Amino acid sequence: MLDTNQNNIQKRIRGRVLLNNVLKVLFFTSTTVGLIFLALLLYRVLTQGIGYLNGNFISNFPAPYPEEAGIFAGLIGSIMLIGIVAPVAIVIGVGTAIFLEEYAYKNRWTKFIQVNIQNLAGVPSIVYGLLGLTFFVYMLRFGYTLIAGGLTMALLVLPVIVVAAQEAIRSVPADIKEASYGMGASKWQTIRRVVLPAALPGILTGTILALSRAIGETAPLIIVGAATAIYTIPDSLLSKYTVMPIQIFNWTGRPQEEWQFVAAAGIIVLLIVLLLMNAIAVFIRNKF
């Protein structure tokens, strides 16, 4: 009697263990789906694009024939765009973070700003495009120019930078702030000389991630009128411009198969730029 009971229990345990093992395999397989997708994507893009990726591709302007098309305008445009986004978003973003962490009283207003930033982070990027279209393109009469695109993007990545900077500032140990105040340093002196240097790696890492998001964004720039065909590089803030993702989008939409390869080559360049930025972020994180 006792024996059969034991047997039953043993059987049930074996069943449960089996189920556990089966599902473990399932869970693992599910995890690999994302990874396999990533690998496939990279493989496809590389094999399709590598043939078109050469010096000419980097240095050429758009052209009607796939062999002559190049991403130069987009590459320079993306870099110039970041040249606007970075200073604007970093100053305002880090400023906001300092304000919230060091100056603001912990009252309802501060809470409101905080929740507001959280919500902004969840607003679809295309809605920022609409904001930029009304505000920068039409109201401020910038037109479809570099500055309109840059400011729109700056607003878009602002919440990311604020949140990263806040975390970095919060993690500066209180005791070194005390040491500074204890020597008669004022609040701003303490922030500038102690808090910000100590928070810098975190701020930089977050900022680079935010900027790489700006480099990869397409939709809002379509709305604020980044052009697809540009034959000169922008020479002022009020120039027309294009960026890499827009060019890639444009090439992807063309029916002839060769343009796919051009698009893939463009994607490789875009991904290399992103990879470089992330490498810098990792380097900074490890160095400090």
Q: Scan residues 33-62 and list those touching other proteins (CB under 8 A).
A: 33-35, 37-38, 40-41, 44-45, 48
Pick the piece of the chain touching other proteins (CB under 8 A) from 24-32, 51-59, 63-71, 232-240. 24-32
For residues 38, 39, 43, 44, the Cα torsion angle rounded to the nearest 10 degrees is -40
Identified binder of other proteins from the candidate list 75, 81, 85, 131, rule CB under 8 A: 131
Give the shortest CB-101-to-other proteins separation in angstroms: 10
Residues 187 to 246: which contact other proteins by CB under 8 A?
A: 187-189, 193-194, 197-198, 209, 212-213, 215-219, 222-223, 225, 245
Identified binder of other proteins from the candidate list 6, 8, 31, 59, rule CB under 8 A: 31
Identified binder of other proteins from the candidate list 53, 117, 146, 265, rule CB under 8 A: 117
Q: Between 40 and 58, name the residue whose CB sits nearer to other proteins.
A: 40
SS (H, E, C) the chain: CHHHHHHHHHHHHHHHHHHHHHHHHHHHHHHHHHHHHHHHHHHHHHHHHHHHCCHHHHHCCCCCCCCCCCCHHHHHHHHHHHHHHHHHHHHHHHHHHHHHHHHCCCCHHHHHHHHHHHHHHCCCHHHHHHHHHHHHHHHCCCCCCHHHHHHHHHHHHHHHHHHHHHHHHHCCCHHHHHHHHHCCCCHHHHHHHHHHHHHHHHHHHHHHHHHHHHHHCCHHHHHCCCCCCCCCCCCCCCCCCCCHHHHHHHHHCCCCHHHHHHHHHHHHHHHHHHHHHHHHHHHHHHHC
Identified binder of other proteins from the candidate list 120, 233, 280, 284, rule CB under 8 A: 120
Identified binder of other proteins from the candidate list 173, 232, 276, 283, rule CB under 8 A: 173
Binding pattern for the stretch 257-286 against other proteins, x by CB under 8 A and - elsewhere: ---x--xx--x--xx--x---x--------
Is 133 among the residues that bind other proteins (CB under 8 A)? Answer: yes
What residue type is 57 in one-letter code?
F
Identified binder of other proteins from the candidate list 138, 141, 231, 285, rule CB under 8 A: 138
Residues 153 to 172: which contact other proteins by CB under 8 A?
A: 155, 158-159, 162
Q: Between 19 and 50, name the residue whose CB sits nearer to other proteins.
A: 19
Residues 64 to 103: which contact other proteins by CB under 8 A?
A: 91-93, 95-96, 98-100, 103
